[in-house]
A = this chain, B = another copy of it.
Amino acid sequence: MDARDLDAYCDAHQPRFVDELVEFCRIPSISADPAHAGDVRRSAEQLAQAARDAGFATAELIETPGHPAVYAERLVDPGLPTVLIYGHHDIQPVDPLEEWTSPPFEPRIVGEELRCRGAADDKGQVWMHLKAVEAHLRTRGELPLNLKLVVEGEEEIGSAHFEGLIEAEATRLRADLCVVSDTAMHDRGQPSICVGLRGLVDLGIEVAGPALDLHSGEFGGAVLNPLEALARILASLRDVQTGRVTVPGFYDEVTELTREERAQVAAAPFDEAAFREVAGGVPATFGENGYTTTERLTVRPTLEINGVWGGYQGPGPKTIIPARAGAKITCRLVPCQRPEVIANRVRAAIEAACPDAVRVTVTPGGGSRPVLTPVDHPGVLAASRAMREVFGAEVYCTRAGGSIHPVEMFDRVLGLPSVLVGFGLPDDRIHAPNEKFDVGQFRSGIRVLTRLWDDLAVSLPKRARTES
């Protein structure tokens, strides 16, 4: 469908759209800091009002045991497809404050950069959705499909209460597709859609030796040191030659990629030197033999040690054999690995690797499943068409190495597939000082979303049990 009418409206109102976003970004809705709880609520209230102003029929706060979410909907016709939009209105902390070149809550536009905390992650991307809805309604009087919007207030602190929210609100949140704008494109001018996210499982390890720290002179040489045992256990979990995790059964359920899928992964350009630079200037990459760096990062599982502790960590020497030592591990999972299964296998491997002269306790924590949306899913295809039209470039289907908990929750709890249409850029400095959002991306993103609704209105099949 021709979108020139929508584009004309957006072009005419772009300065106001930016001004509104600037005002929204002034609210320091830092969910991690209890002192900002009132600000998180204020950002929810302002967002709900903005949703009503944009034309959502209803918009309200959904309370949680933590910070409130915002829910809005405009249901046009039960016969039309229904899309649920997901985003978050809470933001990351700002420290180290001294590294900001302008105050994080006094948004400033420098060239194409809107600089402030939350500009890209995720306030700017949420605002695009409001403005795309406004454009449809003011230009044509009605949306081409049913839209629901849920904007969380705790994404930056792990979405701790979001699973409870979607369980409680399963009926209202029912939809045919979830559209998430909380990621970045592959590169400037190079649109991409994220179709896969790795899962996650975490484990705590504690090795206990003597009941108290021992004097290394009086006991050294005759007692197994828990730190040595822990080092041995951790070193045993991966084969340094092959780069493979050695936990028995670790790869059993891993879906090997077809030749076609590997080609898709390889399609998006990858610059090894640039990657090493982004990865903190590491001298070399390291990973599983037989796979490219991109594959190692996205379609292959891995096991990482996130922290280790034990004994004396202060200045100078201290001659002890510590009583205890511990480590934290996370595994990134790929289809069709299950967190609880992998946790049990890792635990068994750690217990098997632990020498008899000490005791080990492994405590599995939480987990999330890997998520994969088929590249030929109607939502992915529609988003690709919309992006290609606006950006004038082929759209890559990529997978991400990380996990986005809400996406996994929609998949697992509601059986709702997601398409990740994000408009950030890799250099947006999210979670870091001087976060920015590109004003051109903001403009283009709104254009993509107006087109996406038109496309999905006709291309998206209704799911069997969808109400609305």
Contacts and interface: CB of A to CB of B under 8 A. Distances in A.
List 3 A-B pairs, minimum CB-CB distance, nearest first. A217-B402, A210-B280, A307-B311
A186 interface: no
A318 B309 contact: no
B279 A210 contact: yes
17 contacts: A200-B217, A202-B317, A216-B304, A216-B330, A217-B332, A220-B401, A221-B332, A222-B275, A223-B286, A228-B304, A232-B235, A235-B235, A283-B358, A286-B355, A304-B321, A308-B311, A317-B366
A432 to B, nearest CB: 10
- Among A212, A287, A296, A319, the most chain B Cβ lie within 10 Å of the Cβ of A319
Interface in A357-410: 357-359, 365-366, 400-403
B306 A216 contact: yes
Interface residues of A, number: 81
Given A211-B280, A211-B281, A355-B240, A308 B321 contact: no
A308 B235 contact: no
A251 to B, nearest CB: 13
A234 interface: yes
A101 interface: no
A429 interface: no
B402 A218 contact: yes
A436 to B, nearest CB: 19
A305 interface: yes
A188 interface: no
A316 interface: yes
A402 B215 contact: yes
Interface string A274-290: 01000111111111100
B279 A223 contact: yes
A280 B208 CA distance: 10
A270 to B, nearest CB: 11
Given A221-B288, A332-B220, A313 B309 contact: yes
A462 interface: no
A308 B310 contact: yes
A219 interface: yes
B306 A320 contact: yes
A221 B200 CA distance: 13
B210 A332 contact: no
A346 to B, nearest CB: 14
Given A284-B356, A317-B328, A222 B293 contact: yes
A365 B312 CA distance: 15
Contacts of A210: 279-282
A297 B222 contact: yes
Contacts of A275: 222
Contacts of A200: 217, 319
